[in-house]
Amino acid sequence: MTLEVSMDTDQVEKKEQVEEVGQEESESAVDPVDLNRVFQEEERDLNSMFPDGEMRKFLRQVDKNRRSNQRFLKGMKRDKLWEEDE
């Protein structure tokens, strides 16, 4: 049962990574970063708050790093739980 759950989680993480790569490919260097799309949970207009293109790219990268770190920490917690079961 635990193995099935970890496999499902791995598949979800891989799907998220594929979606991120797809987003990167669809947003070329010519296209401006739409912060309202990156941070969909925000109610304010982030594009008007951050008009500089370089700042938008930086904020998008910060968000990607945050999500990557969260996935890493989830994996660490899962590994610790796995070791405790043995």
What are the pLDDT digits (tens) for 17-73? 666 655 555 555 557 899 999 898 989 999 999 999 999 999 999 999 999 999 999
- Give me the number of domains the chain comprises: 1
Q: Is 31 inside a domain boundary?
A: no
Between CA 30 and CA 11 the distance in angstroms is: 32
Between CA 64 and CA 80 the distance in angstroms is: 25
Q: Is 74 inside a domain boundary?
A: yes
* Residue 80 pLDDT: 73
Q: Is 38 inside a domain boundary?
A: no
User: SS3 of 65, please?
Assistant: helix
Q: Is 72 inside a domain boundary?
A: yes
Q: Is 14 inside a domain boundary?
A: no
Range of the domain at 62: 53-86
Q: Is 82 inside a domain boundary?
A: yes
* Residue 15 pLDDT: 67
